[in-house]
Amino acid sequence: MSSERIALSAAAILLLAHVAVIATWGTSSPGPISSDAIQLSLGALVIFTCFGAARRSEGLARSFWRLTAAAYTLWFVAQSLSIYIDLSHTSGSLQWVTNLLFCFWFVPLAMAMFLDPEQQSGSLDSLNALDFIQAVLVCVAAYLYFFYLPKSESPGELAHSVWEPYFIGYGFVAGAFVLRALLTSHRVPRALFGRFGVLLFLSGAVDAMYYYGPGRDLKTGAWFDLLWSSMLLSPLVLAATWKQAEAPDPAVESPEPEKKIHTDVFYLFYPLLVLFMSLRIAREHLGLAAVVVFLSFVCSSARLLVTQHRLVRTQEALRREASRDGLTGIWNRKAILEILDREILRAERDGASLGVIMADVDHFKAVNDSRGHAAGDFVLRIIASEIAAVVRPYDSVGRYGGEEFLIVAPGCGLPETWDLAERVRNCVAKCSFIVGTNSVSVSLSLGIATTTSPAHAERLLQQADSALYQAKNAGRNCVQPSAGRAAIATLGSSTASESKFWL
Ligand code: GH3
Ligand code: MG
Ligand code: MG
């Protein structure tokens, strides 16, 4: 029998026992204390099943169940304290703490609003940590608002004047859950927020019945306690029956990412609440209200800074991705052509020359055909990195086509460009690619062109391309200038040392 089934059976037995206790003793001793103890045991079972559900889940659902377990742990502490107070007949500050916990036990659960289905890795995120601090601030402000300022009729009781705001706040959280369930395009948050939204509404309704309705003036041990118990049974059933597989990863199903604006609105919820409560605190204690608002402001600003920082980082990554070639990591065609345009303008302004080298791998199709496409990719990657390493720091290398590379060399006339192209050719010719047990050698044919006034990118590229065509015709593994002077390289004349690469 699985632990979930055991928990469900134990919960059912506890509920039956509760009915029996109420029927037998009711509000006379030992009815109330037994009733409280049964509810405490139910609470322990809820925490246990929530942790179980977290273990069976991943991503957002795991964090959600952990927060739920944290919320019910607060409730559990409050219930334990209240039993202790009943037994020891103490009151005062302990009673206040108990009331505070009973009123705000659901705050960790409300924090689930800040979970992002696309970012939950299961580890603590700095934004989540900041939201948690905000939540604590809300509790402090609410404590001042609900307990410290209003003059309650009996100490430790929730003052009558704050019943309404309490229920409005509670309803707000429940409403936010339901709204999130309706707005989200992901199945996991829809299932979790929807179910818990309904649960919070029901729990709020039971609270309201206790303060306004038939539960009023009823003592512990009366029939009304069964309603509280059933409110504990619901999360237990939800947690015990939760299966992540029931709601598979939505990213596969919904191509549209979650509309961020909807979820982002919720981050404004806590500072707004703090501000609202501080208005009232300010009437009694201006300094206290100022401290609360200031701390909330610091949190919100820090949150803004973290978000801004992440945005800039994402922007940089996107920009990099948009200008880099996916396979080789060097500039892509669009980026290298932009660089060429820019360098032409600079060369014209400075009256300097500019060299362009078009390089094409010789018989590359044969590498693909004989060694496979993956080996071809490997060879291309190494060639690109070798070219990038051999050129000067201010030269730019881009992937112009499949196995064609374009090098832009600022400040280079014909001799310098030629020299550079020879260095590149030599470097690649010395490379051996070891694929399995075989060694593969490749060579480059290179066409060069230099700027003439007025320079034009298209013409320059055309000249380099036709020079490359001539290099192919001249037998490959050589450099040809656009002027058409043949310069077939002498193999082995280079001083470059041999390099080997294993796949
Ligand atoms: P030549 O010496 O005349 O340039 O012969 P070649 O075989 O290199 O020329 P061709 O244009 O016929 O073939 C180029 C090959 O490059 C064909 C294509 O499959 C391969 N290729 C292009 N891009 C990639 C790539 O990203 N990865 C791999 N593995 N192969 C590629
Ligand atoms: Mg080729
Ligand atoms: Mg080619």
Longest alpha-carbon distance in the chain: 112
**Whose Cα sits closest to atom 12 in ligand 1?**
365
Our mutation pick for probing the ligand 1 site, out of 368, 378, 399, 435, counting the most ligand atoms within 8 A of Cβ, is 368
Please give the C-alpha separations between residue 253 and each of 108, 156, 186, 261, in angstroms, as whole numbers: 30, 51, 9, 21
Ligand in closest contact with the CA of 368: 1
In a domain, 328, yes or no: no
State the distance from the centre of ligand 2 to the C-alpha of 369, rounded, in angstroms: 13
CA 70/CA 83 separation, integer angstroms: 20
**Whose Cα sits closest to atom 10 in ligand 1?**
365
Q: Which of ligand 1's atoms lies nearest the C-alpha of 375?
A: 29
In a domain, 219, yes or no: yes
Tens digit of each residue's pLDDT, the chain (503 residues) = 688 899 999 999 999 999 999 988 887 878 888 999 999 999 999 999 999 999 998 888 998 999 999 999 999 999 999 899 888 887 677 887 887 788 778 888 887 877 776 665 555 577 777 877 887 788 778 777 776 666 555 555 555 666 776 788 788 889 989 998 998 888 888 999 999 999 999 988 988 888 888 877 777 777 888 888 999 999 999 999 998 755 455 444 444 555 555 556 667 777 888 888 888 888 888 888 899 899 889 988 998 899 899 999 999 989 888 999 999 999 999 999 999 999 999 999 999 999 999 999 999 999 999 989 999 999 999 999 999 999 999 999 999 999 999 999 999 999 999 999 999 999 999 998 888 888 889 999 999 999 877 778 999 999 999 999 999 999 999 999 986 444 444 333 445 566 777 77
State the distance from the centre of ligand 3 to the C-alpha of 354, rounded, in angstroms: 24
State the distance from the centre of ligand 1 to the C-alpha of 403, rounded, in angstroms: 6
Query: Tokens 């006339």 belong to which residue?
Result: 413
Q: Report the pLDDT value the prediction gives residue 426, as an integer from 0 to 100.
A: 95
Q: Report the pLDDT value the prediction gives residue 199, as an integer from 0 to 100.
A: 93
Q: Say how many CA atoms lie within 13 Å of 41 toward its Cβ.
A: 16
Q: Which of ligand 1's atoms lies nearest the C-alpha of 366?
A: 7
Residue 316 and residue 200 share a domain: yes
Q: Report the pLDDT value the prediction gives residue 456, as an integer from 0 to 100.
A: 87
Which domain range does residue 467 map to?
333-502
State the distance from the centre of ligand 3 to the C-alpha of 392, rounded, in angstroms: 24
> Domain end: 277, 300, 322, which one?
322
Q: Report the pLDDT value the prediction gives residue 490, as an integer from 0 to 100.
A: 39
State the distance from the centre of ligand 1 to the C-alpha of 233, rounded, in angstroms: 66
Q: Report the pLDDT value the prediction gives residue 346, as an integer from 0 to 100.
A: 94
* Residues 159/150, Cβ–Cβ less than 8 Å: yes
Ligand in closest contact with the CA of 378: 1
**8-state DSSP, 497:** P
pTM of the entire predicted model: 0.58
Residue 178 and residue 75 share a domain: yes
Residue 373 and residue 293 share a domain: no
In a domain, 107, yes or no: yes
In a domain, 251, yes or no: no
Domain CATH for 456 = 3.30.70.270
Which residues line the pocket of ligand 1, CB cutoff 6 A? 327, 360-365, 368, 373, 376-377, 380, 402-403, 472, 476
In a domain, 186, yes or no: yes
**Whose Cα sits closest to atom 22 in ligand 1?**
402
Residue 297 and residue 369 share a domain: no
State the distance from the centre of ligand 3 to the C-alpha of 403, rounded, in angstroms: 5
Residue 224 and residue 135 share a domain: yes
Residue 52 and residue 200 share a domain: yes
Q: Report the pLDDT value the prediction gives residue 253, as an integer from 0 to 100.
A: 47
- Who's near 164: CB < 8 A, 6+ residues apart? none
> Domain end: 322, 351, 372, which one?
322
Residue 408 and residue 317 share a domain: no
* Residues 50/235, Cβ–Cβ less than 8 Å: yes
**Whose Cα sits closest to atom 30 in ligand 1?**
376
In a domain, 327, yes or no: no
Q: What total number of domains does the chain contain?
A: 2
State the distance from the centre of ligand 3 to the C-alpha of 463, rounded, in angstroms: 16
- What is the separation, in whole angstroms, between the first and last Cα of the chain? 51
In a domain, 338, yes or no: yes
Where helices occur in 184-285 by DSSP H, the ranges are: 187-211, 225-241, 250-253, 260-265, 269-284
Query: Tokens 């309603």 belong to which residue?
Result: 227
Our mutation pick for probing the ligand 1 site, out of 403, 443, 446, 477, counting the most ligand atoms within 8 A of Cβ, is 403
Residue 123 and residue 188 share a domain: yes
Q: Which residues surround ligand 3, an ion (CB under 5 A)?
A: 360
Residue 394 and residue 310 share a domain: no
> Domain end: 277, 296, 322, which one?
322
Residue 62 and residue 33 share a domain: yes
**Whose Cα sits closest to atom 17 in ligand 1?**
365
Residue 207 and residue 58 share a domain: yes
**Whose Cα sits closest to atom 23 in ligand 1?**
402
Q: Which of ligand 1's atoms lies nearest the C-alpha of 476?
A: 2
Q: Which helix (H) or strand (E) holds 181?
A: helix 163-183
State the distance from the centre of ligand 1 to the C-alpha of 371, rounded, in angstroms: 13
CA 187/CA 309 separation, integer angstroms: 30
The strands making up 396-399's β-sheet, listed across from edge to edge, are: 396-399, 404-410, 354-361, 444-450, 479-481
Residues in the chain: 503
Where helices occur in 221-259 by DSSP H, the ranges are: 225-241, 250-253
Residue 404 and residue 314 share a domain: no
In a domain, 452, yes or no: yes
> Which one, of 118, 212, 123, 131, lies nearest residue 164 by Cα?
212
The strands making up 499-502's β-sheet, listed across from edge to edge, are: 438-441, 431-435, 499-502
Q: Report the pLDDT value the prediction gives residue 148, as an integer from 0 to 100.
A: 67
